[in-house]
Amino acid sequence: MRRPINFKRPSDYRQQGFTIIEVLVAVALFAIVVLVVLVPITGLFGLTKRSTTQVGATNLAQQWLEQVKGQWLSQPIYNRACISTAPPASVTISLQDKNTLGVNVGTPYTVVVNPNCASVAAQTNPAPLRLVTVTATATNGTSSVPSTLSVEVAR
């Protein structure tokens, strides 16, 4: 037995594919999904830049803190509260004298910078303990990021 040939009329054909409205809706949904994913990622780039600047400021503060401690290994230099090299403008070094119990004595002051620390007059009764605070500020082009480190130095 033969199969009958099925002839379809042109009105029975349905065109395959997507309409322009369906394509536009799909593109809009894709754009929204991409936007939702990319916005937090671009925010992370800003945090990374700030974090890198913070690390740079902390490293600079640590460098100057170690320099002060290294120069103060000499008792006469410690007694004069002096360092021989000037820190950059972005670094400030302040000192606070403390007694043997760690209680603040007097008011905070800045370190003396003099290439020849031996020529600086020694304090008459130098504190047995000093709190050295170094604040370094690094910039990343748009903002400044400070970092402060402190250490007690005993003699």
Domain range spanning residue 128?
18-154
Instruction: Answer yes or no: is pLDDT of 15 > 60.
Output: yes
pLDDT for residue 28: 96
* Count of domains forming the chain: 1
Q: Is residue 11 part of a domain?
A: no
Give Cβ neighbours of residue 56 (< 8 Å, ≥ 6 apart): 138
> pLDDT for 28-51, tens place per residue?
999 999 999 888 887 777 778 888
> pLDDT for 63-110, tens place per residue?
999 999 999 998 888 889 999 999 999 999 999 999 988 899 989 999
Q: Is residue 13 part of a domain?
A: no
Q: Residue 9: what are its φ and ψ, rounded to 5°? A: -80, 155
Q: Is residue 12 part of a domain?
A: no
Residue listed under structure tokens 């322009």: 20
Q: Is residue 103 part of a domain?
A: yes
Instruction: Answer yes or no: is pLDDT of 142 > 70.
Output: yes
Separation CA 55–CA 77 (nearest Å)? 30
Residues in the chain: 155
Q: Is residue 8 part of a domain?
A: no
